[in-house]
Chain A
Amino acid sequence: MEPRRSPRTVIDPKVRQVGFFAPGAPPERSVSVPPAPIVSSSSSSPPVSDLSPSGNSLSPVMIPPPRHSSADNALLPSPSPSRPVPASPLRRDSLTTAAGRSYSKPSDFFPAMSLTASSSYAGRMVGNAEFSADLRGNTVKVVPTASSFPSGGFDLTAVKASSVPATGLTTVSVVKMMPPVYDPEIIVEKVGGSVEVQNDRPERSKPLKEKTSKAERRALQEAQRAAKAEGSKVPASSGAVMGANAKPIKATKPHSQKNDSATVAGSEKRGGDRLSEKDRKKDAPHPRMQYDDKIRVEKAKRRAVVKQTEAKNRVELFRHLPQYEHGTQLPDLESKFFQLDPVHPAVYKVGLQYLSGSISGGNARCIAMLEAFREAIKDYSTPSEKTLSRDLTAKISSYVSFLIECRPLSISMGNAIRFLKSCIAKVPLTLSESEAKASLQSDVEHFINEKIILADNVIVNHAVTKIRDGDVLLTYGSSSAVEMILLHAHELGKQFRVVVVDSRPKLEGKLLLRRLVGKGLSCTYTNINAISYIMREVTQVFLGASSVLSNGTVYSRVGTACVAMVAHEFRVPVLVCCEAYKFHERVQLDSICSNELGDPDVISEVPGRDDINYLDGLTNSENLQLLNLIYDVTPSDYVSMIVTDYGMVPPTSVPVIVREYRREHVWV
């Protein structure tokens, strides 16, 4: 996961002002400089923002007396009535107080960082932090000490944004204040762990090595980030969570984090359209891992569960894509089936199926993955000192990285994972674990049913209207949506003929042909090379897609572009059938920059044709490279129409659907 997400630095001056940092204060300071200087700098910082009314008066430097908070609490029940209140965050009394004060005096949070706070205060802070962590939907650390503090009922009004800042504080206070309770090392580890989780980084052992001071520093940054997000509304906080999730948070790069969280917070304040803009920015696709980057590949390899050997004789043009020798790792993995701890058996099984190729096709892979995740969620139990949402997100992330090792994710799977993570992040804290799990499972099922199965039905109903008697329909490869369309049209009694075009090495068309002929459709089967010959008699071309990118290009099985091109040349309409969940806002112009490489060896041997053995002894020759591309990119001008569950649209309308759909996806 990590390699895909390089830290982004969003430099937006307006955003930067939000929060506790003085405009002039270089953000790096917080990292390298011990707490005190920060405090000083922040003390002079301008008002957080117009959003927090009391922000102006806040002095982060101030260390409030321990009791202060509770008193304040009483006095300040809900300092920001104008702000929308989160639906049902879990609150403790201490939190409430902290929250209440947080508006007036964010300085409350800082004592912890300064390491001088009294234990009682720290204790409160812990509670506060814990609560906030809950709110943020990240991994929650259950700190036993929290219970020792007064815990009030749920104060809905007070919670608000204050919850957000707490995360970082928690960790700090735990580290500093609880030595008697926990071995500091363990705590540190936990802190690191939690941070890790946020980062979506699978490696957990790393933080162990870190010194407490580093943890402190990290915690400090967390706190600052949180403090910044504080002013934001609750939805913003969830947004912030996602933003945080998306970016690797490194102790050495607080700058970007700050900006990230600040971005979200700032965008929240500016409301609707502003939000969507920011949202779009945030959702801009991350640069994918480039496998010609040696350092990152090394890093990724160290973590990998699946030990893959690099294929020899790589094609120069595709060094940036992973290519492994297939077949070597499968037995090894199978033998590890019962030992592999961190991966849920269902996920493991799906991974192996990806590896062996027994599950292929965009929808099938996506459904299999989601089902496996559902199983994993069902069997999941939150470790005692973690919160469900954080820990589960981490788990899912590690599963995902396992699946990536088995086979690179398709774009549709990426979308589904994003959906699942946002679901997890949005699980209300009030739910018990079993309820949360149930709701997540139903979310997953909902996604499968609505976005895939139901979407397919809608597509079929749309597309069938385009089939008339006497048509000759051409399809390429094997697309589940197209197959359903053809079968449905046949059931409706339409008289048409199907041309199934196929290509090596997968010969998926043969399987489709078998199913169609079995259902009694009249079929013609041919190779992709004969496409120019057959196209003259074709009236319509139906193609499936792995994804549709927002510049209208269709990312699909290799060869689709050839078919669409020839159809275009012969003035035959090309209909691309693709569920909207496969749309992606990424753009791509050629098939080289991003693609997937299959097993090169299947190129050199032709099954069933023993006479084609020219390359038998040559596959190791360094002059010979075998290239097995999986996908290609069809330019949008070859596509007449895209049939989706939102209707039939021209390729130019894809970005619209991506935008609308994304909003629904994230916010609804």
Chain B
Amino acid sequence: MPDVQVLVNDFLNKLKKRKIEGSLATARQTAELLRSVISQQRVPYTNQARALIDAVRAVGEQLIAANPVELAVGNIVRRVLHIIREEDLSLTTAAMAGLGLSAASDDEDDADQDNHPVLSAAAVAAAARSTLRPPSLQTLLEDVPDSAAVPHTSSSGGDSEGKSKSADKSSRTRKLKHDVIEAVNELIQDIATCHEQIAEQAVEHIHQNEVILTLGSSRTVLEFLCAAKEKQRSFRVFVAEGAPRYQGHLLAKELVTRGLQTTLITDSAVFAMISRVNMVIVGAHAVMANGGVIAPVGLNMVALAAKRHAVPFVVLAGSHKLCPLYPHNPEVLLNELRSPSELLDFGEFSDCMDFGSGTASPLLHVINPTFDYVPPKLVSLFITDTGGHNPSYMYRLIADYYSADDFVVQRRSPTGR
């Protein structure tokens, strides 16, 4: 346990100091950290899932607080919570099925829990509804609070089982943890390979002799373009440099070394060039539940220009960037102001600042935001590792990856409503 705490603190520090760049790296490291948290977590005989969830939540809460703007952390925490619930549910249903075999001996089907005839399966059904699928209207209207329902069900199931079959208990305990860790490993694998899965779709979208515009640097975009290049498509890429971080230079370098025809332009020339561009392909920082995109600064401008010239605006995003939250005032609340030193040299204007003028406020402000919010109406298409989607479909995609109980991670106690 203490060594986990060390790991957690280490990661927290990195997040706070913004040492980790990019949602991919953050997501992977978060998942790895949570994996070790789970593996180190001592699981009680009863209510194991509950214990795991609490542990993950406690860590997750800290992680999210460390960098609330890095939505990938929260996404991964929620994904892991979702995994725990799912594994627990599948184990429970398996156990139920075992019980049913002995008692009613009619049903072994794990997938069909809703119609489970066993009396105790009512609880399982509630759990299944709340975990496996998005909150249906029925669930929402039920008086049982979902968050309370799940742990309760699992614990009750565990209890009953613990009473009935003590021999099976230890194996089940181990099995849950093992399954969860397996699933988290799979998640890490998914995160690592999401580029390839997205890049596989490149040929479907990039045509011969197309002109593609992108801004800033994104590994997903790089892989996407290179995949199309490998398929013998010849096209030309305009890269806007993405001041003040100039990640576009990095992307341009990568593209050039891989043999793509690349033109580096300034951000201000985007509007001038967009009329000759066939498609805008950009990466995202996060995708919100409404289909809006938190993207590197400057992309809202690009999206508007693309809209004006009817150029498709395509966002590439791995599934770890899908955030189940709906944005409220995202330009401000989900943004981060970087150091002014990227725009003005330190002390550059110290000589013309009139500090003695009586008014306490300085004359000069420098604003250097990190992100832009691109509203869903400006996005033509999302390409995720599961395929292409409309912005309006994002909520459905999110329901596949997250359970509704976890949308708010901070809520710790099930009764704390």
Contact B276 A317 (CB under 8 A): yes
Beta-carbon contact of B363 and A523 below 8 Å: yes
Interface size grouping (class) on chain B:
35 or more
CA gap between A521 and B361 in the complex, in Å: 12
Give the contact stretch, choosing among B168-176, B180-188, B345-353: B345-353
B17 interfacial contact with A, CB 8 Å: no
Known: A525-B364, A532-B372. A562 touches B268 (CB 8 A): yes
Which residues of A sit under 8 angstroms from B263, Cβ to Cβ? 315, 624-627
Cβ–Cβ < 8 Å partners of B252 in chain A: 614-615, 618, 624
- A533 engages B253 (CB within 8 Å): no
Give the residues from 482 to 531 in chain A that come closer than 8 angstroms, CB to CB, to chain B.
Answer: 502-505, 510, 513-514, 517-518, 520-531
Known: A528-B298, A533-B372, A565-B271. A621 touches B246 (CB 8 A): no
B266 at the interface (CB under 8 A from A): yes
Determine whether the beta carbon of A559 is less than 8 Å from that of B269: yes
Per-residue 0/1 for B231-254: is the Cβ within 8 Å of any A Cβ (1 yes, 0 no)? 000001010011110100110110
Contact with B along A518-557 (1 / 0, CB 8 A): 1011111111111111101000000000000000000001
> A531-B301, A595-B272 known; A517 and B264 CB under 8 Å?
no
Q: B331 and A533: CB pair below 8 A?
A: yes
Shortest distance in angstroms between B372's beta carbon and chain A's nearest beta carbon? 5
Q: List 16 A-B contacts (CB under 8 A).
A: A315-B263, A520-B357, A522-B363, A525-B365, A525-B366, A525-B367, A533-B331, A558-B266, A565-B301, A592-B273, A592-B275, A618-B253, A623-B256, A624-B256, A627-B263, A629-B273
Instruction: Give CA–CA (A531, B250) in the complex, Å.
Output: 23
Which chain B residues lie closer than 8 Å to A514 at the CB level? 349, 352
Question: Counting CB contacts under 8 A, is B123 at the interface?
Answer: no
- With A532-B301, A627-B263 already in contact, the answer to whether A615 and B368 are too (CB < 8 A) is no
- Give the residues from 289 to 318 in chain B that come closer than 8 angstroms, CB to CB, to chain A: 297-298, 300-301, 304-305, 308
> Hey, which chain B residues are within 8 Å of A569, CB to CB?
304
CB under 8 Å from chain A, chain B span 82-120: none
Compute how far the CA of A591 lies from the CA of B272 in the bound complex, rounded to whole angstroms.
Answer: 5
| Interfacial chain B residues near A625, Cβ < 8 Å | 261-264
* A332 / chain B contacts, CB cutoff of 8 Å: none
With known contacts A527-B243, A566-B304, A623-B261, A504–B267 Cβ distance under 8 A: yes
Q: Report the bound CA distance from A606 to B242 in whole Å.
A: 12
Q: A382 to B264, alpha carbons, bound, how many Å?
A: 51
A615 touches B304 (CB 8 A): no
Flag if B305 contacts A614 (CB, 8 Å): no
Given A517-B364, A566-B304, A618-B256, the answer on whether A627 and B372 have CB atoms closer than 8 Å is no
Report how far A609 CA is from B249 CA in the complex, Å.
12
Query: Majority SS of interface residues in chain A?
Result: mixed
Which of A523, A528, A626, A632 has a CB less than 8 Å from the CB of B272? A632
Cα distance, A626 to B252, chains bound together (Å): 10
Given contacts A566-B304, A629-B266, contact A520 B354 (CB under 8 A): yes
What chain B residues lie within 8 Å of A520 (beta carbons)? 354, 357, 363
The reply to whether the CB of B259 lies closer than 8 angstroms to some CB of chain A is: yes
Contact of B331 among A505, A532, A624 (CB under 8 A): A532
- Residues of B contacting A628 with CB < 8 Å? 266
Q: Is B319 an interface residue (CB 8 A)?
A: no
Q: Which residue of A lies closest to B329 (CB)?
A: A536
Chain A residues with Cβ under 8 A from B265's Cβ?
A: 603, 627, 629
Give B269 Cβ to nearest chain A Cβ, in Å.
4
Instruction: Tell me, yes or no, whether B344 is within 8 Å of chain A by CB.
Output: yes
Residues in A186-245 with C-beta less than 8 Å from chain B: none
Cβ B301 vs Cβ A609 within 8 A: no
A633 interface residue (CB < 8 Å to B): yes
A561 located at the interface, meaning its Cβ lies under 8 Å from any Cβ of chain B in the complex: yes
Of B272, B343, B349, B367, most buried by chain A (CB within 10 Å of CB) is B272
B260 in the interface, Cβ–Cβ < 8 Å?
Answer: yes
Q: Give the shortest distance, in Å, between A532 (CB) and chain B (any CB).
A: 4
Given contact pairs A525-B344, A624-B256, a sample of 17 additional A-B residue pairs in the complex whose CB atoms are under 8 Å apart:
A315-B263, A517-B349, A522-B361, A525-B343, A525-B367, A526-B343, A526-B366, A527-B267, A528-B243, A528-B267, A561-B271, A561-B272, A562-B270, A603-B241, A603-B264, A624-B252, A625-B263
Asked if B276 and A532 make an inter-chain contact with CB atoms under 8 angstroms apart, the answer reads no
Q: Does A331 contact B (CB under 8 A)?
A: no
Q: Is B214 an interface residue (CB 8 A)?
A: no
**B267: A residues at CB distance < 8 A:** 503-504, 527-529, 559, 562
Encoded as 1 (CB less than 8 Å from any A CB) or 0, chain B from 38 to 65 comes to: 0000000000000000000000000000
With both chains docked as a complex, state the minimum distance between the C-beta of A67 and any C-beta of chain B, in angstroms: 70
Verify if B155 is at the interface (C-beta below 8 Å from A).
no
**Are A608 and B259 interface neighbours, CB within 8 A?**
no
Q: Is A329 at the interface (CB under 8 A from chain B)? A: no
B7 to chain A, nearest CB (A): 30
Contacts of A627 in B (CB 8 A): 238, 263-266, 269, 273
**Residues of chain A with a CB closer than 8 A to B304's CB:** 565-566, 569
Q: Could you say which residues of chain A place their CB within 8 Å of the CB of B271?
A: 559, 561-562, 565, 591, 632
Give every chain A residue within 8 A of B256 (Cβ-Cβ).
618, 621, 623-624
Closest CB in chain B relative to A517 CB, distance in Å: 5
Which residues from chain A contact B361 at a C-beta distance below 8 Å? Answer: 522
A510 touches B344 (CB 8 A): yes
Indicate which residue in B260, B269, B308, B345 contacts A565 across the interface (CB closer than 8 Å). B308
Q: In the complex, which of the residues A315, A530, A612 has the most CB atoms of chain B within 10 Å of its own CB atom?
A: A530
The 5 closest A-B CB pairs, nearest first, are A559-B268, A529-B298, A591-B272, A532-B300, A632-B272
Residues in A with CB closer than 8 Å to B366 are 524-526
Q: Which residue of A lies closest to B240 (CB)?
A: A529
Assess the B308–A528 pair: CB atoms within 8 A.
Answer: no
Does B357 contact A503, Cβ atoms closer than 8 Å?
no
Contacting residues, chain B, for A621 (C-beta < 8 A) = 256
Cβ of A334 within 8 Å of any chain B Cβ, yes or no, is no
- Give the contacts of A589-611 with B (CB-CB under 8 A): 590-592, 595, 603-604, 606, 608-609
Is B134 among interface residues, defined by CB-CB distance under 8 A?
A: no
With A and B bound together, what is the CA distance between A116 and B357 in angstroms? 89
Task: For the complex, give the distance between the alpha carbons of A534 and B368 in Å.
Answer: 10
Are A513 and B266 neighbours in the complex by a CB distance under 8 Å? no
Q: Contact: A528 with B249, CB < 8 Å?
A: no
Which A residues touch B264, using CB under 8 A?
A: 603-604, 615, 624-627
Q: Mark A388-407, 1 if CB is under 8 A from B, else 0.
A: 00000000000000000000
Q: Which residues of A contact B301 (CB under 8 A)?
A: 528-529, 531-532, 562, 565-566
For B349, give the chain A residue with the smallest CB separation.
A517
A525 and B259 CA atoms in complex are apart in Å by 38
